[in-house]
Structure 1
Amino acid sequence: MSPPEVPAATSHASAFGGLGSVYLAVLFDCMGAMMVMPLLPFLAREMHGSPFAIGCMQSFYSLMQIIGTLVLGTLADRVGKRKVLLVSLFCSSFFLMAFGLATTLWQLVLFRGFNGFFAGTVSICQAIVADATDAEHRVGKMALIMAAYGVGVVLGPGLAGLLAPWGVLAVCMTASCCTFLNFLLAYFQLPSGAKAGPKEQETCEQQEEPGLPEDESVEDLGAWDTLQRLLALLLSDPVLSCVLWLNFLQELTMGAFMGVTALLFADVYGITGGGLGEIFCVAGVSMVVFQGLVVKTLVDQVGRPTSIMAGSVIRACTYAAMAALELPLLPWLAPVGIVAAGALIDPCTACIASERAPSGLSGIVLGVFQSTGSLGSFLGPVLAGALYCVWRPAPYWAASAASAACIPVVMPLVLHHRRLRREELKAAEGLQGASGDSEVPLLGPLDQLFNQAHQTTGARREHPGNFAGGECL
């Protein structure tokens, strides 16, 4: 069946309407989570929790987030993204309130874990944006998600610092109210068309997918068949595999950073919960500014893989500085460097992952993408807590090594991107004439592997021979 003349982006836009409510969902959800984050270590210490216990509490949150994103991502593709998003927001609001009423350490861990299960709203929002935009504009829309996330990072800790004198309950109740307001905004503003609709999408862009008959949609497949298709996609697409590894390593370092940095700042610099909220607020402002003024221009100039590599280098150096130095300005400068590097990394990896997803699997693929990050966030705090008990700088040396390990992972993507750019330049300059040399491909074995995977995974691209459909990298 040949696709109609209506562009896919136009059809999706009419189906989903404006994306403003999606960005608001990310903003308020992040703001509610970040309001509680700076106070967690201090609250656990009041209940006689060790650094290792604090790390375990953070890790349990991420473990439940891994399970939740997989479950919610699968449900989003089957029953609709809007329904799953609304349930997640409502439950997050409830468990934030319950967290504020906790009186024992095990209650903190339990309610924090339930909150983590329903914290997969970002991947659902990313899937909605990916379905509603074309490849040319997708990186900008994904960057807006990260900008909304950054605004939440700014407002959440700032409000927590202002409310800290009134106690943890006031902070948690405010966070719960913010998330419930998010639920109301999504309920009234998010269009009901924000659901996975492979049957509807076939009218816009028909694509044969491996193992999926022409008259069968993803909604008709069982959970086991969906899992089999997902595993086949991961095994056959080296690009997606690289992105998942990158996401895991980056979130591993961030988990370590978030798990013990509050303890480091308190033990070395005497910074309390209110001061930590101010530090996160400054870091969030820098993320928003960097995202708006630098990231899009830099990505357009050097490409997404190079941007990811630059962010990895910045994080490796920043973690090493936190391990080796004790400077008065370090508590303010280090988080700025960490989040600025994240502004270079996160939108690019999320965009590549979304563009590698076949039709109808964007929710589960982005759910797996977030779950790999949640796995890193699960391991990071507990490992950092154990290392912190042995030697205070150890978690940051380990985080620096993990960030440096991202460089060899992303290097094949960088080299492939540069080869494609050279090919495009030569074609534009007319250097590929009708001679026999023009028939010799410019791509090496690695590029051929990437392109073969690109064709077999059924990804939707304008130019199937390119590594990323013209715009993925």
Structure 2
Amino acid sequence: MRRAPALSFLLVTVFIDMLGLGIVVPVVPALMLDLTGRAADAATWSGLLGSSFGLLQFLTAPLLGRLADRYGRRPVLLVALAGLGVDWLAHALTPTVTLLVAFHALAGAFAGTTTVVNAYVADVTPPERRAGAFALVGSAFGLGFVAGPLLGGALGSVDPRLPFYAAAGLAFANVAYGWRVLPESRPGDRTTALSLRAANPFTAIKTVLRRPVLGRLVAARFCADVARMTHQAIWTFFVTHQFAWGTAHVGVTMSVGALAGAVFQARAVGPIVRRLGDRNAAVLGSLCGAIALGATAFATTPAAIYLLQAVGVVGGVGVAAAQSWLSRATGSDEQGAVNGAVTGVGAVAETAVPVLAGAAFAWSLSYAAPGAVFAGAAAFATLSTALLIGSRRP
């Protein structure tokens, strides 16, 4: 196994994934406005665009995980990357918003990157080093988030559709790169069941939740995803309302936070997890996240926000540690299936939470309590911590 080239490709893959997403974020509103002609319609269709992706990802993630177990990681990952390229190309070329939603939903159906990358890392990394490897993956995501909006804003100022061509080109280039350098991490196992029952996302998630350790870990992941998605959906609105921050201030603060998180993931998480162990590091990170969210609800100064961002960065150790713990609790012949179920659970949060959090924040403003939504997110993060504490050691 050529472990170094394989891991390097995975890091490039997740970086380009997030870079492509970051490139298009600044120009999606302009594209939707161009297609619909009205700001209200653009906002409505943008919501449908995100929900269609999340819904199809939920429906197909367990199947993609099983395909990765049955036929190997490499073909599923390359097909997923190609599907992403087709999606961005459709964004650049499609003349109607309905066709755009259809293509984006199809991309959600092929969104197996996270599932396969996590399974691949578990295949090629010794258990004692998995947390560090997962942290590097998280660092690559963070760096892509930092670079993407900057590049997207520059390209979008030339032509609103140019960033989508750039994102598609990066995705297709990554497919070609992976075709040349990516070895298979685990030969496919043709005994892995493929049936309507096995592919049913509800059945796949239910099967995982019934297992004592995996069930608690996946439930903890879901609660953490709810908290994380609430923070992502509301944070910009919160600081804009509370402190009258402009877009430049928000953008710089988010970029600095993402960069700090990427550096922390790359340099500090591995040593911390090796010293504390997966379980203790996961609990520590989850607890830091709960504290940061709960304190944000009562933040009254920008300095408090900066401090809580730093606490949240330290909380990033929990993500890699929990994923490492999850991989240890999973058999080598079912990494794809279990990670597919986990991705499906995350897709539920990504589909529902932004809509619900937005409605809750609007309701909170009428009662002059904008921090209430963060208090709710902190409750989910606390529940995630409790589930981790109650789980058996790996």
TM-score tier (shorter): 0.7 to 0.9
Q: In angstroms, what is the RMSD of aligned CA positions? A: 3.3
State how 1:322-471 maps to structure 2 within 5 Å. 322-329=296-303, 337-341=311-315, 343-392=316-365, 393=370, 394-413=372-391, 416-417=392-393, 468=394
Q: Cα distance 1:63–1:277, how it changes in 2: closer, same or farther (>3 A)?
A: farther
* Residues 47 and 70 of structure 1, relative CA distance in 2, 3 Å threshold: farther
Q: 1:148-163, aligned counterparts within 5 Å?
A: 148-163=140-155
Change in 2 beyond 3 A, CA 1:387/1:245: same
What are the ranges of 5 or more consecutive residues in structure 1 without an aligned counterpart? 1-12, 199-216, 418-467, 469-473
Q: Which runs of 5+ in 2 are unaligned?
A: none
TM norm structure 1 = 0.70
* 1:223 corresponding residue in structure 2: 195
Greater share of helix = 2
* C-alpha contact 2:7 2:121 (8 A) present in aligned 1: yes
Q: Percent identity?
A: 26
Q: Does 1:131 align with 2:105?
A: no
Pairs within 5 Å for 1:103-142: 106=98, 109-142=101-134
Q: In structure 2, the residue corresponding to 1:324 is in which secondary structure?
A: coil
Q: Is the 8 Å Cα contact of residues 51 and 385 (structure 1) preserved in structure 2?
A: no
Equivalent residue number for residue 40 of structure 2: 48
Structure ID, larger Rg: 1
2:208 matched to which residue of 1? 234
Alpha-carbon distance in 2 for matches of 1:271, 1:164: 20
Structure-2 separation of matches of 1:50 and 1:21? 36
Paired position in structure 2 for 1:462: none
Distance in 2, matches of 1:33 and 1:15, equals 27
Give the equivalent residue in structure 2 for 1:283.
257
| 1:235 to 1:29, Cα distance in 2 relative to 1, 3 A | closer
Q: CA deviation at 1:90?
A: 1.2
Aligned-partner residue type, residue 389 of structure 2: M
**8 Å contact kept, 1:254–1:380:** no
Q: CA deviation at 1:368?
A: 1.0
Q: Distance in 2 between matches of 1:16 and 1:302?
A: 26
> 2:246 is matched with which residue?
271
Instruction: Answer whether contact 1:55 1:381 (CA < 8 A) is retained.
Output: no
Query: Cα deviation per residue 1:164-216 (whole Å; 9 max; x = unaligned)?
Result: 5335423322222222222221122112x345434xxxxxxxxxxxxxxxxxx
- The letter for the 2-side match of 1:197 is G
TM-score (norm 2): 0.83
Alpha-carbon deviations, 1:59-89, whole Å to 9, x = none? 4332222223223212212222211111111
1:165 match:
157
Q: State the partner residue of 1:428.
A: none
| Distance in 1 of aligned mates of 2:76 and 2:295 | 42
Contact 1:54 1:259 in 2 (8 A): no
Deviation per CA, 1:200-259: give whole Å up to 9, x if none: xxxxxxxxxxxxxxxxx534x332575699679635531111110111111112222223
Q: Could you tell me which of 23, 27, 30 is aligned with 2:18?
A: 30
Check 1:34–1:114 CA distance in 2 against 1; reply closer, same or farther (3 A cut).
Answer: farther
Spell out the pairing of 1:72-83 with structure 2 (5 A cutoff): 72-83=64-75
Q: What secondary structure does 1:256 align onto?
A: helix
- For the 8 Å contact 1:250–1:373, the answer to whether it is kept is no
CA deviation after TM superposition for structure 1 residue 296, in Å: 1.9
